[in-house]
Structure 1
Amino acid sequence: MIDKEEVDAIIGPQTSKQARFVIDVGQKAQVPVISYSATSPSLSPTQNPFFVRIALDDSTQAKAITAIVQAYGWHEVILIYEDTEYGSDLIPYLAHEFQQVDIRVRSRFSISPNDSKFRILKKLNKVMAMQTRVIVVHMSSSFGSKFFFLAKDVAMISEGYVWIITDGLSSLLDPMGVKDIGSMQGVLGIRPYIPQSKGLKIFKRKWKSRIHSSSTKLNIFGYWAYDTIWALAKAVEMIPQESSSVNGENHHRNTSQFPVIKVSKRGKMILNGLLKTKFKGLSGDFSLVGGQLQASTFEIINVIDNEEKVIGYWTLENGLTRKPDKAKNGKSMSKYELKPPIWPGNTKDIPRGWTTPIGGKKLKIAVPHKPGFEAYLKVARDPYTKEFIITGFSHDVFEEALALLPFPVPHKLIPFSIGPNAGTYDELLSYVKNQTYDAAVGDITILANRSQYVDFTLPYLQSDVSMVVKIKDDESNNMWIFLKPLSWDLWLTTGVAFVCTGLVVWILEHRINNEFRGSAHQQVGTVFWFSFSILVFAHREKIINNLSKFVLIIWIFVVLILTQSYTASLASMLTVQHLQPTIIDIDELKKNGDFVGYETGSFVKDLLVKQLDFDESKLRDYGTAEEFDKALSKGSQNGGVGAIFGARHCVELFLAKYCDKYMIVGPTYNTDGLGFAFPRGSRLVHNISRAILGVIENKSKMDAMEHKYFSHQKACQTNKRTTISSSSLGLYSFGGLFIITAVASASSLIIYFTKFLQSHWTTIQTVHHDSSFWSKISELVKHFYDQSLYPLPATNSTLQSVEALHDVENEGVDTVVTVGNVSSSNL
């Protein structure tokens, strides 16, 4: 035909296989090959410049199908496709899009149109034996109807299954009979969206009344075929009339089938005109990009009561939506953008997409069993069925997480004993590593070295390592407790300060105050009495000298602060002394050479030896709370231990039982918390981690579980770590006060002796001018201490006169005339 009829364009290779052959001929003849139904992605117009596809590439629907699966929260799919070029070309694109959103392609099944019924049923049985129930089918309409007949016969078009068909089937549902479509009840499908227009309505009316009077309906391929003719006609109209059709012989030779093929001169012009053609056709706006139509909108259908109903749309810009032309801010991947579909089995309940496989094995999940800490995991055996009954906080969190998964996880819980004569947590995880167990669920601490051979979920509970010690015996009845508020250096410094202050006041008052005179014994007694009577403000001696008053004011202020601090500290000791631990920190443990206990089978032993540098010979392991109590009660010197180290969740259970005997002290050592362990690479880790977040965020449910298992802990308030420090007040805390007192006393003495020297040094030099310097100093001291030189009346009525005398003396006046009852002899 190309040679004899001078063909300038070829329309209509229906299948991709036909198109591939015809494209080669069109390339040699340089005429456009136009197809409206060859949708295989392997046929690329960019690689075949004379190939024009007035249809959508199959790969464009991959994103829409992925959006549906993602919207309903399914995480695994099975792909079933026709074993032809048409069927297999889409699968890589689907797999890629699923991978982008973390949806796993559980398995792929290819079925040939030539397969017998027995072979197809055999593959369907394999699908039934799997847990995944979300199935994507990519087949031609003729083979697809046969396939769904068989799927219905084996009860796979039933409740629990999800069937999604590509546009190869969904676009041709209308022409199918009632019997064919009846086997696809509840199936979801996608197909290109055809916008309703006036021209489309007129064409449908003409099709039904004039062209085709039967009930056969047009489908998308018919609309594309109609638009193809219009586009080609418009392209031909663009060609000048004088252009010849054929340009002689072509020198390309094909020795097998086409010895000589003439090259069309108008073929290339028609191709260029076709690529530039734009108009509003039956299928919508006609415009070719890269030699083919571009995907714009897909409609999502649901087969209900032998007909398809549109439940929503998908667009590249908006994602899922109920209206195709509605603009939104960003893409939506929510199932609520779609109308609720009817699923296989005539149910509105959304399938979970996963079920227990027929004849499938349950996951073997190990749970660590240890006595004494059963709030987290408790293992009992039913006396009648002999089955294990497992309860506890960790178990409940795991079951709640499984309930949030979009698929069921059939499993069997198997106890794993932890104890002195049993296994350890690390041994349990090694069994998970070699897949003796499929997982381990319990109070398992997440550690960096453990994560090298197993995968952990996100933590469901925070837990660190704490040190527990015995509480000191109550010392409130100690007869010497009154000495404990102040440290010994503070006691000593305070006593010295009292004596020094009394001595300074005596020096300042001795020459002018009769109450500070008398025999040597009396004066020493006065100094000590005056010093310590200030402590309770019971001193009776009247102070005359202003410098003495200044010193006394400062010292009374210091005494007031000391007494108030002492009172507060003593009161605190008498009321909270029972909170004091026997051991403050790890350094004290090591210094005393105490034995240390830890929980049997836990990682704490490695922490004590490798990180805290304890001698392994000083470590003792215990398995129950009762053993912890017995060891701590004995003490390290009597066959027990000085402290217990344990994971915080176990420590809190222990303290809840013995809250009046032990307490947490010292720093804590952080871990990543408690989680569940799975073999490396397990996909359940991601799903269960996300479900754990859902459980944790459900505060009411978490509170209910915590109240169920840990309500007794709150009474003891063991969830707060008590910081212990020395209760005795030290010298450093009052150093500033003593410095102020010393400065005030020293300054007063300097001022006093300066004035004394000014008054008496001249007289001493005159009388003892031939004596040495030290003799003069000795005379000056005698002059200061000699009471006969400064006689004072015994009564207090002359105190004002004495004060005046003192002032005069300080002024250097030698002769004083007195008036009144002060005699010259007294002067």
Structure 2
Amino acid sequence: SCKTMVRALSPSSLVAPSSFYTLLLLVVATLLGQHPEGPLRVATAQNTPAPVPVRVGLILDWATKVSLAVSLRRRTGIQMAVEDYYAAHPGSATRVELHFSDSKGDVVGDASAALDLIKNAQVQAIIGPKTSAEAEFVAQLGSRAHVPVLSYSATSPSISPTQTPYFVRTAANDSFQATPVASVLASFGWREVAVLHEDSPYGAGILPALADALQSVHSAAIMVVDRVPVPSGADEDALDALLYRLKAMPTRVFIVHASHSLAAQLFRRASKAGMMSDGYAWVATDGVGNFVDRFDPEDLDFMQGVVSLRPHVKYTNQVKNFSARFRARYRRENPASNDDVLNDATVTGLWSYDTAWAIAVAAEAASVPGPAFRTPQNSTARTDLDQLGVSTTGEALLRAILNTTFDGMAGRFKLVDGQLQVAAYEVVNIIGNGAVTVGFWTPESGISRDLKDGSGNAARQLKPIFWPGEMLSPPRGWTASQNGRVLRVAVPVKHGFTQFVGVVISDNSTKPKITGYCIDVFNEVMKNLSYPVSYQYMPFPDSPDSYEMLVDQVSERKADIVVGDVTITASRMEEVDFTMPFTESGWAMVVATEPDTSGSMWIFLQPLTTSLWLASLAFFCFTGFVVWVIEHRVNPEFRGTPSQQFGLIFYFAFSTLVFSHSNSSTNHLIISIIQ
């Protein structure tokens, strides 16, 4: 009886009994004495058929010691993802089978590995390869064979799912981080930047999106003064030559887009060149931020103060549990490995985990059958590419992958146009032996200190940043260049009215003193520029045609600019460009001001001057004398003693001011005229 029960529960006689009822039937059959290999075993096998295998190829790089360590971590993480999925879904009708292949670290090796997986292993999907250059050719092979190629690390926009329909990017497109980089630069008011990018499809792919983002930033456009391609295999001398050329420029803000290994070499040489000191600002893309945990402590010493970005991942309990299980398993499977970086809870590691999980979900949702390829009927096939078959399950599996959504380790797994969407980017500052989060960027809110809704962060600023040179204040972003050309500014020499432009040449000094309103305005404009400009004033001698000749200095390229009271005329506008007038031209009159006395009762006396009063008095006296001459012969009232007649003349003159005369006059016409 015991022996019969053991045989009934053995894997050779029963295919994966997974339910309580199956086990109960076995026990009952044993107790009744029925043979365990009879009809009961057949019925159980029919109820729980074997899962359909879904073959998935995994391209890894075993060429170097560093790539081997990374590949071992990726292999372990992907294996754990497949096992975790089927542990959570024990009744799945499909089961992912992983097939590994070595790329040998180059494009040809990747193509050979992909060709071997498709032709010989007949895989129905491929995970990998690592770089964008390698993924481009493998994606072409996948599109030809209808085998989906999923990459969790090929982030360059140079390879697009729209051009290669069977390529799926389960990572963030590099172009997505162009706007966050521009927002970080704009938050500090920088207006010029130099870009250092890896000379590869990965490094050059971000440039178009970055240029557009810098030009369309919300505050003001940021100018890219130089783009420096850095060879991936550059030695120290080549890096020094590039860095010293940038050091001679006024710009002190640099964007670095390179792989973490090349970035480590670049910052090491930048520190040796004195470019990791006070006044410099370095902003790196996620090629640095995603791999902070992979840098040696010595490399981090040369990167102190660097600001970088990386896709935001919330470290939930699920992620922490995965990290702990990963460390334990990695140590168990690789006891001889001296890799001390055993925490694979990085963004790339979590993306690789979610990629394997997505394939398992899609295979189950699409009910993908076993591998099947249609071999081309071509008698003239001469190479393996000509004999490459076409997968009959690839189209259904691709469609299921693109429609797969779930809450993964790295966040919400959702593909739009064949690419993973990132909800937020994290801004980190490299300090000490790690990175400190100083803010976040989201499409809805832009730059902010945290991701909490309603945080009240109206300033949209980052937390305090530790800049190169152990500085807490942000660098101004530029410095005066000793090698730059000096701007030649011509000014007119005038012998009068020097309030606008005045040139004083002293015998004790070789440098003239330039003053005036126009000079003050020009100096303030130069101070408020976002970049330094060295300039020198050039006095132009006075002559009858000095202003015409002064304007000709610009058109003849003898001077770069003219500052002064130059009138804008039609003929001059045909030769040079003028700024908008900052003061009105034309004639004006300057008069002295007097206090306002409009409220005084004696205001009517102000127009009457002394000479006017004397003239009026003389006129009144003359009028009285004329009347006396005419009237004293015929009018007895104008007679009497000489003193009476003299007084009558003055009385008659003053009385005309206020009233009509009461004296009788025989000549009414004269009196009427006088009145």
The two structures have a TM-score, normalised by structure 1, of: 0.54
Q: CA deviation at 1:184?
A: 1.5
| Aligned partner of residue 320 in structure 2, secondary structure | helix
For 2:568 and 2:469, locate their aligned partners in 1 and report how far apart those are by CA, in whole Å. 44
Pairing 1:456-605 to 2, within 5 Å after superposition = 456-457=578-579, 459=581, 461-466=582-587, 476=609, 536-538=658-660
Q: CA deviation at 1:381?
A: 4.0
Partner of 1:645: none
Partner of 2:74: none
| Aligned partner of residue 164 in structure 1, secondary structure | strand
For 1:371 and 1:216, locate their aligned partners in 2 and report how far apart those are by CA, in whole Å. 81
Closer/same/farther in 2, CA of residues 85 and 450 from structure 1, 3 Å limit: same
Aligned: 1:415 with 2:539: yes
Aligned: 1:33 with 2:149: yes
Aligned: 1:262 with 2:389: yes
Partner of 1:389: 513
For 1:419 and 1:10, locate their aligned partners in 2 and report how far apart those are by CA, in whole Å. 82
1:373 counterpart (482, 497, 511): 497
For 2:570 and 2:422, locate their aligned partners in 1 and report how far apart those are by CA, in whole Å. 48
Partner of 2:464: 340
For 2:474 and 2:567, locate their aligned partners in 1 and report how far apart those are by CA, in whole Å. 37
Q: CA deviation at 1:79?
A: 1.5
For 1:318 and 1:377, locate their aligned partners in 2 and report how far apart those are by CA, in whole Å. 50
Pairing 1:435-474 to 2, within 5 Å after superposition = 435-445=557-567, 450-457=572-579, 459=581, 461-466=582-587
Q: CA deviation at 1:177?
A: 0.6
Aligned: 1:400 with 2:538: no
| Aligned partner of residue 405 in structure 1, secondary structure | coil
2:438 counterpart (311, 323, 328): 311
Query: What is the one-letter code of the residue matched to 2:561?
Result: A
Partner of 2:322: 203
Partner of 2:283: 164
For 2:341 and 2:272, locate their aligned partners in 1 and report how far apart those are by CA, in whole Å. 29
Aligned: 1:285 with 2:416: no
1:355-395 CA-partner distances (Å, limit 9, x unpaired)? 12243332222233323333333333455443223333333
Aligned: 1:106 with 2:229: no
| Aligned partner of residue 314 in structure 1, secondary structure | strand
Closer/same/farther in 2, CA of residues 441 and 171 from structure 1, 3 Å limit: farther
For 1:283 and 1:382, locate their aligned partners in 2 and report how far apart those are by CA, in whole Å. 73
1:357 counterpart (478, 481, 485): 481
For 2:317 and 2:145, locate their aligned partners in 1 and report how far apart those are by CA, in whole Å. 39
For 1:22 and 1:180, locate their aligned partners in 2 and report how far apart those are by CA, in whole Å. 33
Query: What is the one-letter code of the residue matched to 1:91?
Result: L
1:45-73 CA-partner distances (Å, limit 9, x unpaired)? 12221111001111111111111222222
| Aligned partner of residue 364 in structure 1, secondary structure | strand
For 1:350 and 1:201, locate their aligned partners in 2 and report how far apart those are by CA, in whole Å. 35
For 1:381 and 1:157, locate their aligned partners in 2 and report how far apart those are by CA, in whole Å. 44
Q: Are the aligned partners of 1:475 and 1:481 in contact in 2 as well (CA < 8 Å)?
A: no
Q: Are the aligned partners of 1:32 and 1:271 in contact in 2 as well (CA < 8 Å)?
A: yes
1:174 counterpart (293, 303, 323): 293
| Aligned partner of residue 537 in structure 2, secondary structure | strand
Q: Which runs of 5+ in 2 are unaligned?
A: 1-116, 332-338, 593-606, 617-654, 665-672
Aligned: 1:232 with 2:359: yes
1:392-420 CA-partner distances (Å, limit 9, x unpaired)? 33333333333333333222222233454
For 1:467 and 1:399, locate their aligned partners in 2 and report how far apart those are by CA, in whole Å. 27
| Aligned partner of residue 158 in structure 1, secondary structure | coil
Q: CA deviation at 1:446?
A: 5.5
Q: Are the aligned partners of 2:156 and 2:173 in contact in 1 as well (CA < 8 Å)?
A: yes
Q: Are the aligned partners of 2:293 and 2:341 in contact in 1 as well (CA < 8 Å)?
A: no
Partner of 2:371: 245
Q: CA deviation at 1:112?
A: 1.2
Larger radius of gyration: 1
Partner of 2:119: 3
Q: How many residues align?
A: 489
Q: Are the aligned partners of 2:122 and 2:373 in contact in 1 as well (CA < 8 Å)?
A: no
| Aligned partner of residue 130 in structure 2, secondary structure | coil
Query: What is the one-letter code of the residue matched to 1:46?
Result: T
For 1:469 and 1:308, locate their aligned partners in 2 and report how far apart those are by CA, in whole Å. 67
2:129 counterpart (3, 9, 13): 13
| Aligned partner of residue 419 in structure 2, secondary structure | coil
Q: CA deviation at 1:427?
A: 3.0
Q: Are the aligned partners of 2:489 and 2:561 in contact in 1 as well (CA < 8 Å)?
A: yes
1:69 counterpart (180, 185, 188): 185
For 1:73 and 1:453, locate their aligned partners in 2 and report how far apart those are by CA, in whole Å. 35
Q: Are the aligned partners of 2:198 and 2:229 in contact in 1 as well (CA < 8 Å)?
A: yes
For 2:520 and 2:318, locate their aligned partners in 1 and report how far apart those are by CA, in whole Å. 63
For 1:254 and 1:70, locate their aligned partners in 2 and report how far apart those are by CA, in whole Å. 58
Query: What is the one-letter code of the residue matched to 1:423?
Result: S
Q: CA deviation at 1:442?
A: 3.5
Closer/same/farther in 2, CA of residues 351 and 455 from structure 1, 3 Å limit: farther
Q: Are the aligned partners of 1:297 and 1:314 in contact in 2 as well (CA < 8 Å)?
A: yes
Query: What is the one-letter code of the residue matched to 1:246?
Result: A
| Aligned partner of residue 110 in structure 1, secondary structure | strand
Q: CA deviation at 1:166?
A: 1.4
The two structures have a TM-score, normalised by structure 2, of: 0.66
Query: What is the one-letter code of the residue matched to 2:287?
Result: G
Q: CA deviation at 1:226?
A: 0.8
Pairing 1:202-221 to 2, within 5 Å after superposition = 202-211=321-330, 214-218=340-344, 219-221=346-348
1:594-628 CA-partner distances (Å, limit 9, x unpaired)? xxxxxxxxxxxxxxxxxxxxxxxxxxxxxxxxxxx
CA RMSD of aligned residues (A): 3.4
For 2:489 and 2:435, locate their aligned partners in 1 and report how far apart those are by CA, in whole Å. 45
Q: Are the aligned partners of 2:192 and 2:531 in contact in 1 as well (CA < 8 Å)?
A: no
For 1:46 and 1:370, locate their aligned partners in 2 and report how far apart those are by CA, in whole Å. 68
Q: Are the aligned partners of 2:256 and 2:283 in contact in 1 as well (CA < 8 Å)?
A: yes
Q: CA deviation at 1:255?
A: 4.1
Query: What is the one-letter code of the residue matched to 2:389?
Result: K
Q: CA deviation at 1:294?
A: 1.9
Q: CA deviation at 1:245?
A: 2.2
For 2:210 and 2:238, locate their aligned partners in 1 and report how far apart those are by CA, in whole Å. 25
Partner of 2:450: 323
Pairing 1:676-755 to 2, within 5 Å after superposition = none
Q: Are the aligned partners of 1:128 and 1:357 in contact in 2 as well (CA < 8 Å)?
A: no
Closer/same/farther in 2, CA of residues 417 and 463 from structure 1, 3 Å limit: farther
Q: CA deviation at 1:452?
A: 4.8
Q: Which runs of 5+ in 1 are unaligned?
A: 484-532, 543-558, 564-827
Q: Are the aligned partners of 1:128 and 1:358 in contact in 2 as well (CA < 8 Å)?
A: no
Q: Are the aligned partners of 2:250 and 2:481 in contact in 1 as well (CA < 8 Å)?
A: yes
| Aligned partner of residue 256 in structure 2, secondary structure | strand
| Aligned partner of residue 465 in structure 1, secondary structure | coil
Query: What is the one-letter code of the residue matched to 1:99?
Result: Q
1:432 counterpart (543, 554, 566): 554
Q: Are the aligned partners of 1:394 and 1:442 in contact in 2 as well (CA < 8 Å)?
A: yes
1:537-594 CA-partner distances (Å, limit 9, x unpaired)? 416599xxxxxxxxxxxxxxxx9xxx9xxxxxxxxxxxxxxxxxxxxxxxxxxxxxxx
For 1:427 and 1:466, locate their aligned partners in 2 and report how far apart those are by CA, in whole Å. 24
Closer/same/farther in 2, CA of residues 295 and 415 from structure 1, 3 Å limit: farther
Partner of 1:43: 159
Q: CA deviation at 1:122?
A: 1.8
For 1:110 and 1:355, locate their aligned partners in 2 and report how far apart those are by CA, in whole Å. 23
Partner of 2:627: none
For 2:254 and 2:381, locate their aligned partners in 1 and report how far apart those are by CA, in whole Å. 45
| Aligned partner of residue 205 in structure 2, secondary structure | helix
Closer/same/farther in 2, CA of residues 314 and 446 from structure 1, 3 Å limit: farther
